[in-house]
């Protein structure tokens, strides 16, 4: 959960440090005090795009920092994400992929925005791209403000809500895996069916490349050997002179006028032998001298052999130069080394074989593609049947929730539609239908808020208050399946009366039993149910306006609720506020006791 939030020079907030708790956290205060600005700051923290206008007037930069306890979230992750799941990724996988470690189960996210429009993000003190905050935020926080409700109004997201409700994420992942395999097969087939003239040009190019490399008969390690031989042939005369000098120094010249080192050593050995007959003190030195003689004889022998190999051979030098030139040309065209050039030839030969046998391969891919369509149709069909069952259950559950939220006459429907498509997958009596990574269904939520009205898509009929209550109903139903640990509701009570506010507050508090829930509200009925109550106010000093926050105790809560009930703080309003707070606390204790008993 979000343990602590620090905000500096953000909009009208000069400096703010807020400690939050588990359960249901409520934020209250007069309009314009900065409640929604706090939510906006959290949005910046989790990667939302921000402009320079969020920097407090006269300041160089705005800073937002959040300390998250993620130990519970990491411990609860027991399965990998389902493919194409609604953005709420697994936190542990995201951290591991990014090479980030949650120290002592804590994660610190920070965001800096400057007046020049530049920004900087950090995770546990390390600079990170904004995309990292966005990836992590999907597993940390779900913000539902007036604009964030648009996610519920997008029909393409409805299928994920339904699957999450029914526990069908893994089944959808199976379809997605088959779909990915089908896409890869389809792309390969389309590549083979590309323009025939282009393929023929490619075949001719590949054939030339393979033949050119094959004709060269390249061998691994050949380049180094040729370069050594070229150096020897190009310097044959000088090498001969040097080896002759070495041999002469060891064995003496051919005329015998000059003695070599070995002659001197042989003479020294004879003298030492005579010496040892008289005194054995230097006996060990005789072995050392013998060893030196043996070593120098090996050197002389190796030098003589090398000298015999070194001879000028212009014809062979020309052959070596031509071979090196050929290898150099091939390396410029196909690879930095002989090994890379040979690997290029292998790949080219494989592609040439594939294109040369494209008709047979295309037929095989066609069979494979149709087999995958059949499998996708079968798996997606079973998934669709489960979705249809879940759609009825979700419809009934949603209507019960909406009835609790004072939308008693509203009708809700989860509509599943299949679209005919001759290129689709088989779907029983329906023939072939369109398909995607999510299956063969198009899911959309429909609502008729008032009696006598037809069911219509949410985006066409839902008001702000109705959308807020729809989102709350969805979150309430999906609470047990929703892995996002912190839920934030901004102005969820828009269009909600005081009578319905009690129910809204009770459902938000219930969400707080499985998630950390933050709510900005104007209704005292909701605020009274908070486990932690934060008052947001603004003060004017000179010509500057500043937002401040205060965590309220019971007495301060009574005063705040009194203001929310009647505006003026009177003994009657304070009595009503205290009664409201007492009833809320009694209700929560009763619910907790009921849950323990259950």
243 neighbors 303 (Cβ within 8 angstroms): yes
Q: How far is CA 500 from the centre of its chain?
A: 41
pLDDT band at 162 (very low <50, low <70, confident <90, very high): very high
Of 396 and 49, the structure prediction assigns the larger pLDDT to 396
E-state strands within 462-543: 486-490, 516-520, 532-541
pLDDT higher than threshold 90 for residue 467: no
Provide the 3-class DSSP secondary structure of residue 421.
strand
Q: Judge whether residue 308 has pLDDT over 80.
A: no
User: Per-domain residue ranges for the chain?
Assistant: 155-172+374-461, 222-351
As a three-state string, the secondary structure of 138-183 is HHHEEEECCCHHHHCCCHHHHHHHHHHHHCCHHHHHHHHHHHHHHH
Q: Name every residue whose Cβ is closer than 8 Å to that of residue 395 and which is 6 or more positions away in sequence.
A: 412, 413, 414
Q: What is the pLDDT of residues 327-355, one digit of tens each?
A: 999 999 998 899 999 999 999 999 888 87
- When mean pLDDT is compared across 60-64, 409-413, 481-485, 552-556, the lowest value belongs to 481-485
Cα separations in angstroms, 579 against 107, 138, 521, 532: 40, 39, 19, 18
- DSSP assigned state of 81: P
Band of residue 176 on the pLDDT scale cut at 50, 70, 90: very high
What would the pLDDT profile of 75-132 be if each residue is shown by its tens digit? Answer: 655 444 433 444 344 677 777 777 777 778 889 999 999 998 888 888 888 888 888 8
Q: What per-residue confidence (pLDDT) applies to 501? A: 82
Please write down the long-range contacts of 370-378, taking CB distance under 8 Å and 24 or more positions apart: 372/178, 372/181, 372/182, 372/185, 373/182, 373/424, 373/425, 373/426, 374/425, 374/426, 375/178, 376/175, 376/178, 376/179, 376/182, 376/425, 376/435, 377/425, 377/426, 377/427, 377/435, 377/440
Lowest mean pLDDT among 163-167, 253-257, 356-360: 253-257
Report the mean per-residue pLDDT for the chain: 85
Burial class (CB in 10 A: 0-12, 13-18, 19+), 555: exposed
With 0-12 CB in 10 A as exposed, 13-18 as middle and 19+ as buried, what is 79? exposed
Closest CA to 521 of 47, 30, 6, 181: 30
pLDDT at 81: 40
Model pLDDT, residue 474: 81
User: Model confidence over 248-260: pLDDT tens digits?
Assistant: 888 877 655 677 8
pLDDT of residue 185 exceeding 70: yes
Q: Are strands 456-457 and 2-10 parallel, antiparallel or unpaired?
A: unpaired
Once rounded to an integer, what is the mean pLDDT over residues 459-486?
A: 73
Is pLDDT at 487 greater than 90 in this prediction?
Answer: no
DSSP 193-238: TS-HHHHHHHHHHHHHHHHHHHHHT--TTHHHHHHHHHHHHHTHHH
Sequential DSSP letters for 556-583: HHHHHHHHHHHSS--HHHHHHHHHHHHH
Confidence of residue 568 (pLDDT cuts 50, 70, 90): low
Contact 130, 121 (CB under 8 A): yes
Question: Going edge to edge, which strands form the sheet with 456-457?
Answer: 411-417, 442-448, 456-457
Q: What is the pLDDT of residues 278-301, one digit of tens each?
A: 888 888 888 888 888 899 888 888
At residue 297, the pLDDT reads: 87
Q: Measured in whole angstroms, how far is the alpha carbon of residue 103 from the centre of its chain?
A: 20
φ, ψ at 63 (rounded to 5°): -130, 135
Q: What is the pLDDT of residue 442?
A: 95
**% of the chain surpassing 90 pLDDT:** 36
Q: What is the pLDDT of residue 419?
A: 95
Bridge partners for 19 per DSSP: 4
pLDDT, residue 214, reads: 93
Better pLDDT: 136 or 367: 367
Burial of residue 287 (number of CB atoms within 10 Å: 0-12, 13-18, 19+): exposed
Q: How far is CA 40 from the centre of its chain?
A: 24
Confidence of residue 480 (pLDDT cuts 50, 70, 90): low
Residues 6 or more apart whose Cβ sits within 8 Å of residue 185 = 365, 368, 369, 372
Answer whether residue 231 shows pLDDT above 70: yes
Q: Is the pLDDT at 210 greater than 50, yes or no?
A: yes
Question: Residue 547: pLDDT above 90?
Answer: no
Per the document, the length of the chain is 598
Cα–Cα dist 126/102, whole Å: 12
Of 246-255, 268-277, 375-384, the range with the lowest mean pLDDT is 246-255
What is the 8-class DSSP label of residue 137?
A: H
pLDDT-based confidence at residue 362 (cuts at 50, 70, 90) = confident
Between CA 327 and CA 70 the distance in angstroms is 59
Q: What local confidence, expressed as pLDDT, does residue 577 receive?
A: 92
Confidence of residue 463 (pLDDT cuts 50, 70, 90): low
Q: pLDDT (tens digit, 9 = 90+) per residue, 18-31? A: 999 999 999 998 88
Q: Residue 149's pLDDT band (boundaries 50, 70, 90)?
A: very low
Asked if residue 490 lies in contact with residue 143, where contact means CB atoms within 8 angstroms, the answer is yes
Q: Could you tell me the CA-to-CA distances from 215 to 111, 205, 212, 330 in Å, in that order? A: 61, 15, 5, 11
427 phi and psi angles, rounded to 5 deg:
-135, 55
Looking at the chain, the whole-number percentage of residues with pLDDT higher than 70 is 90
Cα of 23 vs its chain's centroid, Å: 29
Closest CA to 581 of 596, 564, 568, 593: 564
Q: What is the pLDDT of residue 20?
A: 93
- For the chain, the C-alpha Rg in angstroms (whole number) is 41
Q: What is the DSSP letter of 127?
A: E
Q: Is the pTM of this model over 0.75?
A: no
Question: How far apart, in whole angstroms, are the C-alpha atoms of residue 249 and residue 241?
Answer: 12
Band of pLDDT at residue 188, cut at 50, 70 and 90: confident
| 511 vs 146 pLDDT, higher one | 511
């Amino acid at each position: 959960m979000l343990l602590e939030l620090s905000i500096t020079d953000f909009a009208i907030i000069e400096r703010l440090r807020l400690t939050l708790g588990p359960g249901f956290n409520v934020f209250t205060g007069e309009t314009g005090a900065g409640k929604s600005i706090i939510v906006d700051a959290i949005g910046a923290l989790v990667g939302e795009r921000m402009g320079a206008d969020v920097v407090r007037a006269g300041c160089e930069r705005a800073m937002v920092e959040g300390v998250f306890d993620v130990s519970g979230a990491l411990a609860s992750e027991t399965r990998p994400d389902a493919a194409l799941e609604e953005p709420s990724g697994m936190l542990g996988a995201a951290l591991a992929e990014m090479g980030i470690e949650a120290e002592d189960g804590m994660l610190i996210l920070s965001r800096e925005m400057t007046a020049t429009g530049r920004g900087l993000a950090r995770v546990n003190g390390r600079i990170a791209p904004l995309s990292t905050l966005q990836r992590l935020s999907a597993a940390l926080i779900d913000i539902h403000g007036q604009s964030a409700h648009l996610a519920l109004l997008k029909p393409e997201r409805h299928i994920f809500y339904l699957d999450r409700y029914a526990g069908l994420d893994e089944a959808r992942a199976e379809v997605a895996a088959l779909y990915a395999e089908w896409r890869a097969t389809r792309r390969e087939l389309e590549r083979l069916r590309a323009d025939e003239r282009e393929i023929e040009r490619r075949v001719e190019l590949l054939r030339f490349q393979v033949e050119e490399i094959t004709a060269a008969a390249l061998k691994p390690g050949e380049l180094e050997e040729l370069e050594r031989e070229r150096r020897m042939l190009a310097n044959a005369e000088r090498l001969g002179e040097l080896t002759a000098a070495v041999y002469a120094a060891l064995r003496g010249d051919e005329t015998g006028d000059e003695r070599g080192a070995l002659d001197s050593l042989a003479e020294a050995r004879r003298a030492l032998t005579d010496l040892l007959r008289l005194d054995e003190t230097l006996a060990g030195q005789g072995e050392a001298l013998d060893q030196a003689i043996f070593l120098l004889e090996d050197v002389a022998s190796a030098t003589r052999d090398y000298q015999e190999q070194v001879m000028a051979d212009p014809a062979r030098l020309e052959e070596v130069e031509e071979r090196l030139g050929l290898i150099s040309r091939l390396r410029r065209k196909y690879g930095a080394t002989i090994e890379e050039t040979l690997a290029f030839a292998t790949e080219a030969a494989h592609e040439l074989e594939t294109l040369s046998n494209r008709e047979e391969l295309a037929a095989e891919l066609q069979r494979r593609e149709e087999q995958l369509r059949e499998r996708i149709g079968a798996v997606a069909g079973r998934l669709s049947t489960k979705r249809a069952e879940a759609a009825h259950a979700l419809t009934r559950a949603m209507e019960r929730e909406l009835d609790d939220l004072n939308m008693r006459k509203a009708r809700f429907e989860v509509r599943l539609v299949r679209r005919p498509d001759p290129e689709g997958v088989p779907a029983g009596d329906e023939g072939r239908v369109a398909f995607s990574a999510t299956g063969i269904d198009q899911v959309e939520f429909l609502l008729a808020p008032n009696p006598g009205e037809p069911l219509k898509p949410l985006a066409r009929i839902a008001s702000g208050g109705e959308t807020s209550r729809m989102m709350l109903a969805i979150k309430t139903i999906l609470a047990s399946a929703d892995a996002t640990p912190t839920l934030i509701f901004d102005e969820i009570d828009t269009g909600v009366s005081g009578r319905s506010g009690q129910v809204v507050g009770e459902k938000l508090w219930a969400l707080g039993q499985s998630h950390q829930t933050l709510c900005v509200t104007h209704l005292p009925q909701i605020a009274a149910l908070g486990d932690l109550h934060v008052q947001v106010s603004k003060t004017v000093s000179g010509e500057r306006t500043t937002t401040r926050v205060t965590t309220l105790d019971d007495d301060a809560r009574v005063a705040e609720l009194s203001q929310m009930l009647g505006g003026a703080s009177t003994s009657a309003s304070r009595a009503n506020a205290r009664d409201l707070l007492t009833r809320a606390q009694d209700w929560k204790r009763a619910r907790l006791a009921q849950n323990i008993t259950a």
